[in-house]
Amino acid sequence: MNIEEAVTAATAESSPLLSCLGQPVVAYHVTAIMRESDKRHARQMQLALLRRSIEALVDDGLEDIEAERFAAQFNGRVGSTWDLLHMSDTSH
């Protein structure tokens, strides 16, 4: 898996977030997370994106709980994809 594939996998089914934050913004942040090799720092970046995602979704009209649920699913995909990407890096 390369970074481009990782970003595509992490942002799959994220159209509400892509709609309110914009595809370039989400892709930029997810790409930065995927490029970060330090797991702790990547998780900090991920949490910042999670908070921003919730705020953007609420601003776009979703209820708080709905926004949190959607953002948590997105956050889980980003984390899982980061793990897969970096697991393959260490197996070479």
Is 88 in contact with 1 (CB distance < 8 Å)?
yes
pLDDT at residue 23, rounded to an integer: 92
Residue numbers of the domain that contains 32:
3-90
- Alpha-carbon distance 23 to 7, whole Å? 11
Q: Note the pLDDT tens digit of each residue in 46-88.
A: 999 999 999 999 999 999 999 999 999 999 999 999 999 998 6
For the chain, counts of helices (H) and of strands (E): 5, 0
pLDDT at residue 92, rounded to an integer: 42
For residue 75, which of 67, 63, 85 has the smallest C-alpha distance? Answer: 67
pLDDT at residue 89, rounded to an integer: 62
Q: Note the pLDDT tens digit of each residue in 4-58.
A: 999 999 999 899 999 999 999 999 999 999 999 999 999 999 999 999 999 999 9
- Alpha-carbon distance 17 to 25, whole Å? 10
pLDDT at residue 90, rounded to an integer: 56
pTM, to two decimals: 0.90
The domain total for the chain is: 1
Residue corresponding to tokens 């979703």: 62
